Structure 1
Amino acid sequence: MNIKTLYAKLHRAICTESRLDYMGSVTIDQDWMDAAGLQDGQAMDVLNLDNGARLTTYAISGERGLGEICLNGAAAHRFEPGHKVILIAYCDLTLEEKEFFQPKVLLFDDHPPFEIDHQNQKLRWLKERPTYSLPEKETPATTYASLAKSSKKSDSEQLLAKNWQLGCQLLWNQAEIVVGLSAFMRENHVKTVLDVSGGNGFPALELRRQGWDIAYNDYNAFMKGQVEAQIKGKDDFLASMPCTQLSWEQLDQAIAPSSYDMILCRGNSLPYATSWSVNQICEPDKAKVIIQKALEQFFQVLRPGGVLLVDKSSFESTGIYVVQKEGEVEGKDCHIHWVFVNDLDAELRRWDQYNTVEQQTTCLTVYSLLITEKMLCDWLTKAGFVSVCQTPIRGEDIYTVFTARKPVGETTVAKTSDYYNQQNAIYSEVWDAQGRICWGYYPPDKPELAFEEAGRKHVERMASMIALDAKSKALDVGCGNGVTAIWLAQHFGCQVVGIDPSPTNIEKAKELASQAGITDKVTFICGTIQEGGFPDNEFTHIWSNAALSHIPEQERKANFTEMQRILGHQGTLIFDDSISPTGKVDDHAREWVYERLHFDKLYTIAEYVDLLASSGFEVEKVDDLTQHQQKSYEVLSQRAQAAGYSRLAKAYWESSKASGWGTLGWAIFLAKPQ
């Protein structure tokens, strides 16, 4: 659950009982009294998410695990068993503060924001997220802002460093992130690393302690000084960690080209390449140029085949986002209250930091460019990177992580933003240990089939629709790591050629084919179907699993025309792919489907049929499997959560919802050349 709120404590529960007596009451099936930190008689607002009912009432304690809310008169008829309710308690504010900061806007998951008018005891749903601004009269917040404006740059540098260090210790599971990064580096054969946004030394110091050859860089002099103080007098390897204070645009002046296997740019640092200091508002056009130049510098100092890991904030729409956390750091009671305000029109983000240590509060305001996922992916591609994709890293559940590679030699990678590149280890853990990456088919008589078995059942079902035998020659387009191509060759004795734009996938596919002792029947090629150079009528069958929607829309017809050319006159094309059942693209689908998977267009079934017809194919069968995709994403969400990938679990759950809402779907298409 993702709750973002301003000046309030909230807790979600489910109504399990509603009875009408002298005082209406609702029983809540949660330890909400403890979770929300409420006391008997605590005043609160109760919001029914299912019908919009909103009541002001107070709490009555009950058995542990069962809390009772006393409602006004017989108002319990507006709450029925199964209704989702929100308890809103203003525990952190005095009455004066509560009045002072009204109205309050609360943002809940994918629900519309709502505004609470405390004076008139009303709740108003908002069509749009409001623009956040501090009150005009003197308040604690404006006092902080005034204090920040008067700060010197050197003071601000130190304050930023201290605030960031506090945030790192309170917000992140640092040990888990180090485990995740180490696993990623081993999987990608990384030996040398440059942390270009080293900050307070996390994770560079811990990775260095574990033996990784990592160098530190940060443009903040105070942060760099802190790190140097930590390694001074330590063992030779830790003490010898290179520490530099270079601006990103000037890396090549101090670092030789092709020096590192990996560049680490985490902590949502990229947007702050142009402006970190108090009230220094960056000009968006200028900021974009500087950031793109920084990415070009990253590209230069990477070795061919090297990888860039860069993360960014996961929220990029207009609105207010609040991060709050309290705890003990170095024996002191600490609390952070960070308010992020996004302005999409101005392409700016404001970050108000209110940090309290032992009841002493400091404030800092930082401005940055508001970078969307599309902007980042476009810039990485423009800088020369390939295989740009989201990459879940164990422990990283606050920011969205992207990876991109510097091509090896003259190797060209398809222009599609291939979400599945460079992630064999993670997908083997969450999807299928054998490396098969496809949704599952759940037969009516086996709705609880294990996910791996459901995936195999889907492939077997597709294969049963076409006539493959030892005389067949099949092309697997977007073959991934080759698991399905190898299975087809083994099961039917046919010749199979697999083609995929990912060098890593092709390398893995060749390895698996060798292990299976079937290299005489399967061949793997790195590239796209357009680059394959196959003769006319070369194949009897063309096969593809969930790959074609990654091809840019303007290139899809050319790809199908090429398939028609290389497929024999009596040949068969069969593929499954993502579709848009309704043809609608809402904000939820744009965030959790199109941007996450880098789709620029998903076709409806009718649009796909028309495209195939215009490319020289006649569609013989279409099988809509959207309900199986929805089920698959539900199962994958559970598996990702169990494996420790909470952000990936969230993404899969939202994808399941998209399948249920008709903005994402899945279908098999069977076609013949006309």
Structure 2
Amino acid sequence: MIEPATIGEHYDKRSPIGDELRDGQLHMWYWYDREDDASLTEAVHRMTRKVTDTLGLRAGEHVLDAGCGPGETAIHLATRFGVRVTGITVSEFEIERARSRALAGGVGDAVAFEYGDFTALSYPDGVFDAVLALESLQNAPDLDAVLAELYRVLRPGGRISFSDFSLGAQGDPARLATFMETLKLPRLPTLPRWLEHARDAGFEIEEHTECGPRVFGMKGKYLEAALKVRDTVTAKFGAAAVDEFSRLHHGFFAPRKDQIGYVIVSARKPRR
């Protein structure tokens, strides 16, 4: 079992340069095709909007950003929808960076960032109107326990939207194993299995999609975008740090494009 502290260290090592490359959002990108000329930052923000729009947020609601990264997504939610956001992460770097970003953005009253293990949340039952989990459930040591906790802290009728990697085409198990070890993934469910986990926790599925070809399938575009700014990032962090960042991510690119899917799932806690 991968402990939360190990996941925190995993992100502490990767997040500083990742934050630089993706403008405060560490999750995946969304490109329509090879001819799509969106920048890396724009492609990542496109994924943010694609997932968060499914929550149907309303001004004044309280959102839990479970696995908040360096804070840009929470700030986006607060400024676009007029919601309050509590972001949790097990990465000390991410908490510090998120708080600094919120202060600079003038949204300190609307967002808060805390160290939080979502296998054992400190919040009362039913305190949140919505939960967002962008590529954070996949690292959960016990996925069913985490979903049960997120279900608990949602009010009746509250919504959850999450996005994560999924198992695509079969074959090349060694490549998949390398990918999972690199990202510290204890499992790689298919889309049907993701839905089953959510239903087992009590959620009612309302919308889901599989968009792997436009996400992991565009890994070549990410590499091109990263290479364009390599010199700038190296000037800020140093060659040794950039080389180590590249080494840590090497296994991410091991699978074939069709082996790694990407799911977006929206569900609701029953009103009863």
- Residue from 638, 650, 653 that aligns with 2:224: 638
Distance change in 2, residues 1:595/1:527 (3 Å): same
- Residue from 41, 57, 60 that aligns with 1:452: 41
Query: For residue 560 of structure 1, what is the aligned residue in structure 2?
Result: 147
Identical aligned pairs, as a percentage?
23
Q: Is the 8 A contact 1:421 1:504 kept in 2?
A: yes
Q: Is the 8 A contact 2:208 2:264 kept in 1?
A: yes
TM-score (norm 1): 0.36
Query: For residue 213 of structure 2, what is the aligned residue in structure 1?
Result: 627
Displacement, 1:638? 2.9
Distance change in 2, residues 1:418/1:669 (3 Å): farther
Q: Secondary structure at the residue paired with 1:421?
A: helix
Q: Secondary structure at the residue paired with 2:47?
A: helix
Displacement, 1:534? 0.9
| Match runs of 1:483-632 below 5 Å | 483-552=72-141, 555-582=142-169, 586-591=173-178, 593-632=179-218
Q: Secondary structure at the residue paired with 2:197?
A: helix
Q: Is the 8 A contact 1:538 1:567 kept in 2?
A: yes
Q: Secondary structure at the residue paired with 1:475?
A: strand
- Residue from 458, 462, 475 that aligns with 2:64: 475
Q: Is the 8 A contact 1:498 1:523 kept in 2?
A: yes
Distance change in 2, residues 1:661/1:634 (3 Å): same
Displacement, 1:568? 1.3
Q: List runs of 5+ in structure 2 lacking aligned partners.
A: 235-241
Q: Which has the higher contact order (CA 8 A, sep 6+)?
A: 2
Q: Is the 8 A contact 2:120 2:149 kept in 1?
A: no
Question: Hey, what's the Cα distance between the residues in 2 that align with 1:455 and 1:609?
Answer: 24
Q: Is the 8 A contact 1:549 1:602 kept in 2?
A: yes
Query: For residue 426 of structure 1, what is the aligned residue in structure 2?
Result: 17
Q: Is the 8 A contact 1:506 1:524 kept in 2?
A: yes
Confirm whether residue 660 of structure 1 aligns to residue 246 of structure 2.
Answer: no
Superposed CA deviations along residues 87-120 of structure 1, whole A, max 9, x for unmatched, are xxxxxxxxxxxxxxxxxxxxxxxxxxxxxxxxxx
Question: Relative to total residues, which structure has the larger helix share, 1 or 2?
Answer: 2
Query: For residue 238 of structure 2, what is the aligned residue in structure 1?
Result: none
Q: List runs of 5+ in structure 1 lacking aligned partners.
A: 1-377, 387-412
Question: Relative to total residues, which structure has the larger strand share, 1 or 2?
Answer: 1
CA-based RMSD: 2.6
Displacement, 1:537? 1.0
Larger Rg: 1
TM-score (norm 2): 0.85
Supply the AA of the counterpart residue of 1:671: A
Superposed CA deviations along residues 283-318 of structure 1, whole A, max 9, x for unmatched, are xxxxxxxxxxxxxxxxxxxxxxxxxxxxxxxxxxxx
Query: For residue 31 of structure 2, what is the aligned residue in structure 1?
Result: 442
> What is the total number of aligned residue pairs between the two structures?
259
Supply the AA of the counterpart residue of 1:570: G
Question: Hey, what's the Cα distance between the residues in 2 that align with 1:581 and 1:616?
Answer: 26
Question: Hey, what's the Cα distance between the residues in 2 that align with 1:666 and 1:418?
Answer: 24
Q: Secondary structure at the residue paired with 1:658?
A: coil
Supply the AA of the counterpart residue of 1:484: T
Query: For residue 139 of structure 1, what is the aligned residue in structure 2?
Result: none
Question: Hey, what's the Cα distance between the residues in 1 that align with 2:98 and 2:243?
Answer: 29
Distance change in 2, residues 1:649/1:510 (3 Å): closer
Query: For residue 365 of structure 1, what is the aligned residue in structure 2?
Result: none
Question: Hey, what's the Cα distance between the residues in 2 that align with 1:633 and 1:444?
Answer: 11
Q: Is the 8 A contact 1:640 1:649 kept in 2?
A: no
Displacement, 1:659? 4.9
Supply the AA of the counterpart residue of 1:483: E
